[in-house]
């Protein structure tokens, strides 16, 4: 009961305080008008009338503008604006009332100028004093709170500073900004003491325990330097979340989190056409193959959020399928979905699923993708990535599916490994099958996905947790990266705008050197590369390139409505010839002769170079593989 009464009593106290200023302000206005001398008797009546009229009129304006609801501890400019508006409206109403009732008799005209000025100050100053005292108490009482150094003295830094002060959990000791023009400036009583290189000296001077990044436009070089200095000083470094898909940055102390590897990608937020995606998915039956994998599971999440009529999750991995089934059931209880344990090579099982569910959109994410592993296992790679894709595509065609989206990879461009070559054959089939089917076949292609199963990020994390060493194959190897939600969002975007036969290439930004990625991840763990955690170079693995490409030179890229989405022209092949080549490929798969299988892959993908990598260096043949000499 006490908890319910407290806010009511507080608001009542605020209203009484504000109303009490009315007679005081009116009297002071009269007193100043007559130079603080006794008021003439003619003006005493005017004084009384003003007080009597002011109380109900201003009680109404104060209430309507919500002056009683504002928290004095956090008073700000909008609160002061409401005070001014309520005072001006009240004075206007009171002037009109006195004119009608007394024709302004006994009220000097100057009172109507002095009164609102005094009243506005009387209402504002106590509020501002309360905030100043509370902020001062916090700034002087840092005991028990985390001493915080804020990097960034701009809009986000100022907002973060206010949030930090209000939270009571942090004690801001200084600001740092890479802009020299900010040096020496003071924001809310906290001074900008230097640039990024000054962090060690400022930490030593202030005793800071935490570094907070509040600089949304910070460059990757500066961000790396902040992380490096924080690691050397043994201080944790936290940041704000990345801007959302509307470009809006959330500045909230409760949203602070450790810096993540995706913060170092230096890319603008991907802005997507959510309306177009919703129009594509809403109310439709959607089937996702490989639904338990990294990309497939995120496709299920984002699709479920778009309110499909039905979601079919298909995967041949029991545990992965169980995990995504449980997650969708918990997070999207209103979505009707079905989890199907099925191998994409099983034609009879696929026909059963398609007959029962009648999917209108298929996202084909099922694939084997581990490059070195597949070099030693070319046969299952071709069976799953090529003939599994063909089976699902033909099932989509037989059962009248509207759209089929193949999730491909940049490794399909000028492939030097079995994985890339198998995905390229899947691309060739889907792009050309589009002209022989009522189903619209769309291909999406992108690079490495941060945090996906088998990617370097979880491997590096495990190696760092063990104390190292972190293993990198080559000091110059580099890859394109994007986050899983970014990749899936752009897959959905491709499905929404694609009309069939296209290859959509997701713009990946600049490639990232894996050695630098390893160094950054070590720093993110609060450690020093080469000192606390060694980095060891192990040599390129079978089928591995130094760098990846996202399109072939003959696939001239053109833009789309989304600058993150590019369109590559597909290469048309003779359909009957392709069918014969695939029949021969299937025969060689069943013959279990790896050398002949690689020869047939190369006949379908002439750019597949099984003897040398893209850098012209001889590629070691995996055990049991026959080198194809060209």
Q: Within a 13 Å sphere around the CA of 291, how many CA atoms are in the beta-carbon half?
A: 32
Contact between 448 and 485 under an 8 Å Cβ cutoff? The reply is: no
* pLDDT-derived band at 272, boundaries 50, 70, 90: low
Mean pLDDT value of segment 339-347? 95
Whether 23 and 108 map to the same domain: the answer is yes
The span from the CA of 357 to the CA of 282, in Å, is 16
- What does the CA dihedral 507, 511, 516, 518 come to, rounded to 10 degrees? 60
Q: Is the pLDDT of residue 617 over 50?
A: no
Whether 99 and 115 map to the same domain: the answer is yes
Q: Is the pLDDT of residue 403 over 90?
A: yes
Segment among 21-25, 69-73, 220-224 with least mean pLDDT: 69-73
List, for residues 37-67, the tens digit of each pLDDT value: 887 877 888 888 888 888 899 888 988 888 8
Whether 305 and 245 map to the same domain: the answer is no
List, for residues 96-146, the tens digit of each pLDDT value: 988 888 787 878 888 888 889 998 898 888 888 877 776 655 555 555 577
Question: 627 or 183: which carries more pLDDT confidence?
Answer: 183
Question: 503 or 69: which carries more pLDDT confidence?
Answer: 503
Whether 486 and 418 map to the same domain: the answer is yes
CA atoms 300, 302, 304, 306: torsion sign: negative
Which phi and psi angles does 559 have, rounded to 5°? -80, 165
- Tell me whether residue 615 is in a domain: no
CA angle 390, 370, 596 (to 5 degrees): 60
Whether 133 and 146 map to the same domain: the answer is no
* pLDDT-derived band at 250, boundaries 50, 70, 90: low
In order, the DSSP letters of 268-283 are PPPP--HHHHHHHHBT
By DSSP bridging, strand 512-513 and strand 565-568 are unpaired
Helix ranges (H only) for 306-405 are 318-331, 347-357, 371-375, 378-382, 389-398
Neighbour-count burial for 178-189, b at 16+ CB within 10 Å, e otherwise: beeebbeeebee
- Tell me whether residue 613 is in a domain: no
Place of tokens 């460059």: 219
Domain count, the chain: 3
Whether 208 and 59 map to the same domain: the answer is no
* pLDDT-derived band at 499, boundaries 50, 70, 90: confident
The span from the CA of 497 to the CA of 503, in Å, is 12
In order, the DSSP letters of 488-519 are HHHHHHHHHH--SS-EEEE---S-EEHHHHHH
Question: 619 or 129: which carries more pLDDT confidence?
Answer: 129
Q: Looking at residue 559, what is its pLDDT?
A: 57
- Tell me whether residue 396 is in a domain: yes
Question: 242 or 327: which carries more pLDDT confidence?
Answer: 327
Whether 154 and 132 map to the same domain: the answer is no
Token readout for 159 is 């907002």
Give the largest CA-CA distance in the chain.
118
Q: Looking at residue 620, what is its pLDDT?
A: 44
Average pLDDT, the chain: 82
Q: Is the pLDDT of residue 431 over 80?
A: yes
Mean pLDDT value of segment 501-505? 85
Whether 17 and 115 map to the same domain: the answer is yes
Whether 146 and 129 map to the same domain: the answer is no
Segment among 122-131, 195-204, 238-247, 393-402 with least mean pLDDT: 238-247
- Residues of the chain with pLDDT > 70, as a percent, come to 82
The span from the CA of 314 to the CA of 352, in Å, is 12
Contact between 528 and 544 under an 8 Å Cβ cutoff? The reply is: no
Quote the domain boundaries for residue 169.
141-259
Q: Looking at residue 352, what is its pLDDT?
A: 95
Whether 162 and 296 map to the same domain: the answer is no
In this prediction the pTM is: 0.65
Whether 321 and 468 map to the same domain: the answer is yes
Contact between 106 and 43 under an 8 Å Cβ cutoff? The reply is: yes
Q: Is the pLDDT of residue 509 over 70?
A: no
Quick one: which of 555, 557, 493 has its CA closest to 363? Answer: 493
Q: Looking at residue 630, what is its pLDDT?
A: 21
């Amino acid at each position: 009961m006490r908890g319910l009464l407290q806010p009511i009593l507080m608001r009542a106290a605020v209203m009484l305080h504000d109303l009490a200023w009315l007679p005081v302000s009116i009297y002071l206005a009269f007193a100043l008008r007559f130079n603080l001398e006794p008021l003439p008797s003619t003006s005493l009546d005017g004084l009384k009338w003003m007080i009597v009229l002011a109380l109900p009129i201003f009680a109404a304006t104060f209430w309507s503008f919500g002056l009683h609801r504002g928290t004095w501890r956090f008073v700000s400019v909008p609160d002061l604006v409401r005070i001014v508006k309520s005072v001006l409206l009240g004075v206007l109403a009171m002037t009109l009332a006195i004119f009608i009732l007394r024709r302004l008799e006994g009220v000097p005209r100057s009172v109507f100028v002095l009164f609102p000025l005094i009243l506005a100050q009387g209402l504002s100053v106590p509020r501002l004093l309360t905030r100043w005292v509370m902020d001062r108490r916090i700034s002087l009482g840092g005991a028990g709170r985390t001493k915080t150094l804020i990097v960034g003295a701009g809009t986000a830094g100022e907002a973060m500073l206010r949030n930090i002060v209000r939270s009571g959990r942090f004690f801001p000791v200084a600001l740092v900004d890479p802009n020299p023009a900010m040096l020496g400036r003071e924001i809310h009583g906290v001074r900008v003491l230097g640039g990024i290189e000054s962090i060690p000296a400022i930490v030593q001077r202030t005793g800071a325990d935490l570094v907070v990044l509040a600089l949304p436009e910070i460059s990757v070089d500066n961000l790396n330097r902040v992380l490096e200095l924080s690691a050397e000083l043994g201080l944790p470094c936290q940041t704000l979340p990345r801007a959302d898909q509307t470009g809006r940055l959330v500045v909230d102390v409760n949203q602070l989190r450790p810096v993540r590897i995706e913060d170092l990608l230096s890319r603008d937020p991907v802005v997507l056409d959510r309306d177009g995606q919703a129009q594509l998915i809403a109310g439709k039956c959607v089937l996702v193959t490989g639904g338990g994998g990294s990309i497939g599971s995120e496709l299920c999440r984002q699709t479920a959020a778009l309110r499909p009529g039905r979601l079919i999750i298909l995967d041949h991995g029991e545990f992965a399928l169980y995990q995504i089934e449980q997650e969708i059931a918990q997070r999207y209880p209103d979505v009707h979905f079905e989890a199907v344990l099925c191998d994409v090579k099983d034609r009879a099982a696929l026909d059963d699923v398609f007959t029962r569910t009648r999917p209108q959109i298929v996202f084909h994410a099922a694939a084997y993708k581990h490059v070195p592993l597949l070099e030693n296992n070319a046969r299952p790679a071709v069976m799953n990535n090529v003939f599994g894709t063909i089976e699902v595509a033909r099932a989509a065609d037989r059962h009248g599916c509207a759209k089929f989206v193949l999730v491909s990879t940049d490794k399909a461009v000028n492939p030097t490994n079995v994985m890339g070559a198998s995905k390229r054959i899947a691309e060739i089939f889907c792009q050309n099958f589009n002209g022989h089917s009522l189903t619209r076949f769309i291909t999406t292609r992108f690079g490495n996905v941060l945090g996906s199963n088998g990617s370097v990020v979880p491997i590096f994390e495990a190696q760092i947790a063990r104390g190292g060493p972190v293993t990198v194959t080559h000091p110059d190897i580099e890859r394109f990266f994007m986050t899983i939600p970014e990749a899936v969002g752009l897959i959905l975007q491709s499905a929404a705008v694609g009309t069939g036969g296209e290859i959509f290439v997701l713009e990946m930004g600049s490639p990232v050197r894996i050695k630098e990625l390893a160094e950054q991840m070590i720093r993110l763990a609060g450690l020093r590369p080469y000192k606390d955690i060694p980095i060891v170079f192990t040599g390129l693995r079978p089928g591995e390139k130094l760098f990846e490409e996202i399109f072939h030179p003959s696939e001239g890229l053109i833009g789309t409505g989304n600058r993150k989405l590019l369109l590559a022209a597909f290469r048309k092949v003779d359909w009957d010839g392709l069918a014969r080549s695939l029949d021969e490929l299937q025969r060689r798969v069943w013959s279990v002769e790896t050398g002949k299988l690689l020869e047939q892959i190369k006949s379908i993908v002439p750019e597949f170079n099984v003897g040398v990598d893209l850098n012209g260096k001889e590629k070691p043949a995996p055990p049991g593989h026959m080198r194809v000499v060209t």
